[in-house]
Chain A
Amino acid sequence: MNSLVLLLLIIAGGALLSYFGHRINQLLGNITVFIVALIIPIYWFTQVDFTETVSLTISGFHLEWGYNMYGKLFSMIVMILSPLALIYAIGYMKDQKKLATFYFSFLFSILGMTGILMSRDFVSLFIFWEIMTWSSYLLVIFFGKDVEKTGIKYMVFSALGAYAMLMAIVIINNNTGSMMLADYFTAFGGFSLQTKLLTGILLMFGFALKSAVMPLHVWAPGAYSNTPMAYTSVFSGALSKMGIYGLGFVVVNLFAHANMSIVGDVLAWLGAITAVLATFSAIFQDDAKKLLAYSSIAQLGYIVTGIGIGTELSVMAGLYLAILHAAFKGVLFMAVGAVERQAGSTDMTVVSGLVRKMPFTFFASLIAIIALAGIPPLGGFVAKWMLYESLITNGNFLMVIMIFLSSTAAFLYCYKFLFGLFLGQQEPEFDHVKEASPLMVVPMILLSLFLMVTGAYPGIVLKYIAAGMTNLGFHDVSWQMSVLTNTWGDSVNFQHIFLAVVVVFVAFLIFLTWRGYKHSTKVSTKDISVSGEMIKPEDNMTYSKDFYKPFERVLQPILKWKINKYYDEFGKGLEALFDFMRRIYTGNGQTYAVYVITFLVILLVFSKSIFGY
C-alpha cells in the first residue's frame, strides 16, 4: 500500500481508536493515545517514502498527494511537535471530561495538517484545511468557555479565510482548467493582472488569517488562551504554520518571482506592524496564557515579514524562525499548561515563585524564553540576525527599526512571564504544588533540548530549510552547520558562543542558588504596610500587578486603538441588519400573499426588460 495513504489511515485510525478507547475507559484510551503518538512520527520518519505520490479522481476532480521538500519541512514541525503535545496531553488532560472528543479532534487536526502538506492540488488542500479547521474549532470551545464569543469568532474568521481560499480555488480552476498547484504556478504568469491579484490575494487572505496577521488576528488571543494548553502548543506551534506554508508559496513562488514584490512588501509591513502591536499588547497581559497568545501573534508577525520580503535570506530567516517558534511556543504553552494544572491558575498576579516547586518546567521555559527573545546562544538569535541582515540589505530600514523595537520590547514580556510565574516570592497557598507528571515534563524537556542543539548547530535545521526552499525557486541556498556568515563577510561560530554562554550561565546559576538560599528572607507579598492608607483585602499588591505601569502610560495612545472594537461594532451592525431583514416575514399570512402578488406585478411590469421580447 502507498505509504502516504497509509500514513493518513494511521492517523485517522488512531483518531477513531482513541475515540473508542476513551469511550470505554480512560486508561485504555490513554494507552491508545500514547501508542498512536509514538507510531505516527516513527512511521513518518522511517517508513514514509517521500517520492511516492497518490493520485485519484473524485467527482471529476483530479487529486494528487505527494511530498515536496517544502512540505516535508513543515511536516517535520507537525511530526515532532504534535506527538509530543499528544503525550503531554495525556498528563495534562487526565481526569477531564469528554476526552474521547478531545483526542479525536486532536488527531483529526493532525490529519488535516499532514494532508495539507502533502496536497498537490487545491481540492485536497482545501479538504484538509477544512478538516483542520473544524477539528481545531471543537478544541477551541472544548472547555465551554466563551463559546459564543471566542468560538464563534474563531469559526467566523476561519470560515472567511477558508472561503476566500475556496473562491480563489474555483477562479483558478476556471482560468487554468485544473486544480493542480503546479499548473497554477506555471499559468500564473499568463493571467491578467486582475486575476493574478484576485487569486493571489484571496489565497493570501486565507493563509494570512491562519497565521494571525494584523487586521485578521482578532480571533487568535481568545482562541489560543481558551484552548486546552496541550493543544494550544500545536495550535500556535504547528497549525498557524500552515498559514506560513501557504504564504510562502503564494508570496515567494508567485509574486516575488513575477516582479510583483509590492504584494509581498505589503504583507511584510503588515507582519511588522503585527509584531510591534502584538508585542505591546503582550506586555500588559496579566494572564500568562493571553501573554503567550499575543507573543505568538508577534512572532508570527516576524515570520510573515521574513516571508513577505521574499529574498533568499529573509525567507530562510522566516522559515527558521517558524521552526524555532514551533519549538519554543510549544514548550511555553506546555509550561503554562503545567502551571495551570498544578497551581490552578495562570494569572501572573496570583501565581508566583514556582521555581522551586516546578524546576523542570522552569528550566524548559527558561530555555524557550531565551530562544524566543533572541538572546545569543540559542536559535532565536540566529534567526533574527538573518532577518535583520535581509531587511538591511533589502533597504527596509524602517522595518528593521520596527522589528528591533518589537524584539526589544519582547524582553519585557519574557521577563514578566518568567518572573510572574516562577520567580519572586512563593505564596503559602502554593506550598502543595508539585512538579508536573513526567508525561508533561518530558516533552517540554525534549523540545528545549532541541532548542539548545539548534542554538549550537543551526545547520541541522538550515539544511532542511535550504532543501525546502528549492521548491520556492531558491536553488543553491548556502548554509553552514554552525557558522553564520553575513553579507559583509563577517562570520560567527555558534558552537563556541554556545559553549561559553553555557559555562558562564551554569556557573552563575550555581552561584545564585547558593547565595539565594543563604540570604533570602521570607515575607508575604500580601502583607504590606502603607502609611496612612487603608488597603482593602481585594487590592492585590503583588509585584506582578501593574508590572509595567509607567510603560503602559506611555503607550496608552497606541493601545487604545483596538481593532477588535471595530469588528464587534461591525458584527453588531450586521446583526441589526439581519434582524431588520427578517422582519419581512411578518407572520401575517395575508402579507405573504401580498408579496406574491407584488412579485407578480413587478415581473409583469418589467417583463419586457427581463425577457427582452
Chain B
Amino acid sequence: MTHTEIILTVISLVVLIIAGFYAVMKKDLIHAVIATSVISLVLSLVFYLLQAPDVALTEAAIGIALSTIIFIITVRNTKRFEDK
C-alpha cells in the first residue's frame, strides 16, 4: 500500500465509524438510511483500496443504490421518525 492509500484508508475508516454512529443513532430514519448509503459508498472505496474491485463494484451497485432505495420506500410506507 502506498502512503496515499493508507491515508485514504484511515480517512475512510473514520468516516465509516461516524456514518455508522449516525445511522444507528439518528431518529430521522431517512437520514439514517442515507447514512447507511454513505457507509456503503465508503466501504466500496475501502474495498477498492484493499484490492477487491469486484466486491467494491458489488457493494457500490447493491449497497449504495438498491439497498438505500428499498429502505426509503419502506420508510415512506411506514413512519419517517423513530418515536421515543
A–B in direct contact per CB < 8 Å: no
Task: Give A contacts to B, CB under 8 Å.
Answer: none
Task: Give B contacts to A, CB under 8 Å.
Answer: none
